[in-house]
Amino acid sequence: MQMHHPIPLHGLKFPLTLADELRTTFDDVVSIPLPGRLAALMRRLQADRDELQERSPAVLIVEDDAEVRRVTAALLEDGHVDTIECESASAALAVMRICGRDVAMIFADVRLPGAMDGIDLAWEVKASWPHLPIILTSGQPPERGGDLPHGVTYMPKPWQPRDVLIAAVDAIASVH
């Protein structure tokens, strides 16, 4: 059996508003100091933002051979160059659309899986980022070697690690 208790109505003003009670509750919540863990998280977030703003632009490595991609990234990272790795031209374009301003240079294989090869990637990138240095590389001469966009360099494999590192450092220096 359910019993209903009458609600006392004396002392209430009509129309009934809760604004004063809500304001008081809101003021109480806002005036409570942030817990230590939340404050630490906020400091960490600010530090991460500062680090991102200070980070050097990266070299985008586009190579379908995972071992070659890993070795190239290790070479550049040993030279204190940040890298982003992709295995296809479509993945590289997606990276460029998301964070293209953080890329100082693209180092890409000519032969890549999918509908686009490295030369197609170079044309697409140059359309939106005309001043971005791009180095294409391959173990075989590119079939469309004369079809490279302006500002794209061809470096045959096997390339010298020093040459790749110098190109990357020069590209990053030109951004600053």
**pLDDT grade for 172, boundaries at 50, 70 and 90:** confident
Instruction: Compute the mean pLDDT over every residue in the chain, rounded to the nearest whole number.
Output: 81
Q: What is the pLDDT of residues 9-51, one digit of tens each?
A: 455 444 444 445 544 444 444 445 556 666 676 677 666 666 6
> Kindly report the CA angle at 144 between 139 and 145, in degrees rounded to 5?
65
Are 108 and 136 in contact by the 8 Å Cβ rule? The answer is yes
134 token code pair: 């791009």
136 token code pair: 């294409």
pTM: 0.69
55: helix, strand or coil: coil
How many folded domains does the chain comprise?
2
Q: Based on the fold, state whether residues 34 and 120 are members of the same structural domain.
A: no
Instruction: Please list, in sequence order, all residues whose beta carbon lies within 8 angstroms of the beta carbon of residue 162, skipping any fewer than 6 positions away.
Output: none
Q: Which structural domain, as residue segments, surrounds residue 42? A: 19-51
Q: Based on the fold, state whether residues 145 and 127 are members of the same structural domain.
A: yes
Q: Based on the fold, state whether residues 116 and 38 are members of the same structural domain.
A: no
